[in-house]
Amino acid sequence: MTTSDGDILLQADGIDIGYGRVTVIHGASLSVKRGQIIAIIGPNGAGKTTLLSGLMGLLPVKGRLSYFGETMSEQPSVEQLVGRGVTLIPETRELFGPMSVEDNLRLGGFSRYQQGHRDLQAGLEEVYTLMPRLRERKTQAAKTLSGGERQMLAMGRALMSKPKLLLLDEPSLGLAPLITRDILRTVARLRDLGMSCLLVEQNAKAALRIADYAYVMESGAFVLQGPAAEVAANPDIIASYLGVRSAAAAEHHA
Ligand SMILES: Nc1ncnc2c1ncn2[C@@H]1O[C@H](COP(=O)(O)OP(=O)(O)OP(=O)(O)O)[C@@H](O)[C@H]1O
Ligand SMILES: [Mg+2]
């Protein structure tokens, strides 16, 4: 295709998402293109998880949505989205605790197996190459992993379904800075492998470092957007999210 449409994996125009009669997301518009990492940053309660839940078909969305260049007349279900290559890794990193690392990964590849693909072993190899720590621990029960290892396993399990678009909710939650760096580096490598990622992060600094483009969400609406480097250089963002006040701003507030 010569138009750029084929390169837009996800496009939302003026969408509302809420819980029953309570609307949390108001008129949000965003797009994710092939091979991009899009960061969404914003404070607790801004609506980041709500947005991802709507985009994954877990909550009803009002407004215009298109996936892989196709405008949806009806919101697709979770199953339909998974079938088309969209995967969500939730904040909670749900794993099968008593099962081994490798069995968790195998389960991640189950839907592909059902579709007739017989590339489970190759998938495991890819995941182990990307995250060698998982290979070292492949026989260990998931529930005994450290926080960082659990996040890697959650990512590895999602990768076993070979998604085109990964929705990632706060992969650094509760993790030390070094592990956060590792995890986000892995996300950046996924882009190199051709995957796109919608990355929700409270760790704005780390997210903006790897993202191509970023949206800032406050109280259910995007208040700022732009190329990640520009957002990272914006004085308001520096003051509110990056934790470093410039001397001038500090003086101004004194
Ligand atoms: N199941 C629910 N029913 C009603 N309101 C909800 C529900 N889940 C979340 N909310 C509300 O929606 C708003 C946005 O919550 P959300 O979890 O999307 O924020 P968030 O940006 O992901 O925050 P955090 O950074 O803490 O994860 C909050 O006011 C929250 O109380
Ligand atoms: Mg959240």
Q: Strand pairing of 165-169 and 196-201?
A: parallel
Domains and CATH numbers, the chain: 1-85+164-254 (3.40.50.300), 90-162 (no CATH)
The pTM score is 0.91
Amino acid identity at 231: V
Phi-psi region of 174 (alpha: psi -120 to 50; beta: other; left: phi over 0): left
Determine the length of the chain.
Answer: 254
Work out whether the CA dihedral 144, 150, 152, 154 comes out positive or negative. Answer: positive
pLDDT at res. 244: 53
Measured by CA distance, the residue closest to atom 3 of ligand 1 is: 19
Ligand at shortest distance from the CA of 46? 1
Measured by CA distance, the residue closest to atom 30 of ligand 1 is: 45
**Residue to probe by mutation, ligand 1, list 49, 53, 222, most atoms within 8 Å of CB:** 49
Whole-number Å distance between alpha carbons of 105 and 109: 7
pLDDT by residue, tens only, the chain of 254 residues: 334 556 999 999 999 999 999 999 999 999 999 999 999 999 999 999 999 999 999 999 999 999 999 999 999 999 999 989 999 999 888 899 999 999 999 999 988 888 898 999 999 999 999 999 999 999 999 999 999 999 999 999 999 999 999 999 999 998 998 899 999 999 999 998 889 999 999 899 999 999 999 999 999 999 999 999 999 999 988 888 887 544 444 444 44
Residues in contact with ligand 1 by the CB-under-6-Å rule are 19, 22, 24, 42, 44-50, 202
pLDDT at res. 59: 96
